Amino acid sequence: MTAIDVTAWSALLLGLTALFAGIGALRKPGAWRTMIEEVERSPALQFVCGMLELVIGAVIYLANPWIPADLLSCALKGMGGLMIIEALAILGFVDIYTQFWLRSLTHMHRGWAMSTVALGLVMAVAGASRFH
């Protein structure tokens, strides 16, 4: 039986998600702003988004061990923890939190999208490079 490298798969899948979300945002400027506005208006979407991010963040956090020699695993554990915090912010303070993103996306849409593409590419390559 072979062990699955959870860190490699986590990085690859999160990286591909970020990469293609960023590409989508570059192709359709304003899409992220529209999504955030929709979440802000809908208590059901607020709950679903918060719970989904909480579950994904918790899985990433719990699946990746803290091994100081393994920088990718530590980075993913940190990302999982940040996702948990963001999910709780969405669930409890969505009105304040969405306003931050709406103001930020007004002036920095392309910058956020390019940063997301870059982070996604780095994570996908880092994850894929661990496969033998």
What is the reported pLDDT for 3?
84
Amino acid letter, 32: W
* Cα–Cα dist 63/52, whole Å: 16
Q: How many domains does the chain have?
A: 1
Is 48 a domain residue? yes
Residue 92 is assigned to a structural domain of this protein: yes
Report yes or no: 57 and 81 within 8 Å, Cβ to Cβ.
Answer: yes
Model-level pTM? 0.88
| Domain annotation covers residue 12 | yes
Residue 1 lies in a domain: no
Give 100's contacts (C-beta < 8 A, 6+ positions apart): none
Say if 112 falls within a structural domain. Answer: yes
Would 81 be classed as within a structural domain?
yes
Range of the domain at 11: 6-128
- The whole-chain average pLDDT of the chain stands at 93
| Residue 75 in domain | yes
Residue range 16-57, pLDDT digits in tens: 999 999 999 999 998 888 988 899 899 999 999 999 999 999
